[in-house]
Amino acid sequence: MPEKKLNDLFYDMLKDIYFAERQILKSLPKLAKAAHSEELRNAFLKHRDETEGQVERLQQIFEMLGKRAQGKTCEAINGILEEGQEIIEEYKGSEALDAGLLAGGQAVEHYEMARYGTLKNWATQLGMADAANLLDETLQEEKKTDALLTQLAQSEVNRKAA
Ligand code: FE
Ligand code: FE
Ligand code: FE
């Protein structure tokens, strides 16, 4: 078996996050629809639009590698999104629903932040400065979204759930 290198790892993880982003794109409208708070609904919808741009950035990076954009099943994101779906079903009509949705949203953003942080560093190590910049743009969006969700969690939404 030929030795696998950092560029193989980079390509594999790119496929992982590409799969994840497309699952997230499908999931965000469901989270928005379920949210009671208008602020939370708007936050999910805004991030849905950002996510479309994130998918495009990943496609640009596949192109830089001369590869077709393709996803590889990420069981981690499937599990996180499934938990969100469970909350929607189990807390339907409850004042605590939004607090649960916020927690689910934050788990998604943290997974993404971990992946984009790693991918950005690997891109730099591999001498792919343009890819590193694109990955950093997305990383900043994920961080901003996480911060917004934290802010919402600390204010209105959780007070109502108490
Ligand atoms: Fe994302
Ligand atoms: Fe994964
Ligand atoms: Fe995100």
CA of 3 to the centre of ligand 3 (A): 33
Q: Which ligand is nearest to the CA of 110?
A: 3
pLDDT for residue 2 is more than 90: no
CA of 94 to the centre of ligand 3 (A): 25
Alpha-carbon span 147 to 134, nearest angstrom = 20
- What is the structure's pLDDT at 3? 87
Look up the domain containing 48 and give its range: 6-161
Is 1 a domain residue? no
- What is the structure's pLDDT at 12? 97
Is 89 a domain residue? yes
Tens of pLDDT along 74-101?
Answer: 999 999 999 999 999 999 999 999 999 9
Using DSSP's 3-state secondary structure scheme, residue 119 falls into helix
What is the domain-level CATH number for residue 135?
1.20.1260.10
Nearest to 47 by CA among 104, 4, 93: 104
Q: How many folded domains does the chain comprise?
A: 1
- What is the structure's pLDDT at 91? 97
Instruction: Enumerate helices (H) and strands (E) in the chain, giving the number of each.
Output: 6, 0
Burial 83-111 (b: 16+ CB within 10 A, else e): ebeebbeebeeeebbbbbbbebbbbbbeb
CA of 6 to the centre of ligand 3 (A): 25
pTM to 2 decimal places:
0.94
- What is the structure's pLDDT at 158? 62
Is 124 a domain residue? yes
Is 121 a domain residue? yes
Is 16 a domain residue? yes
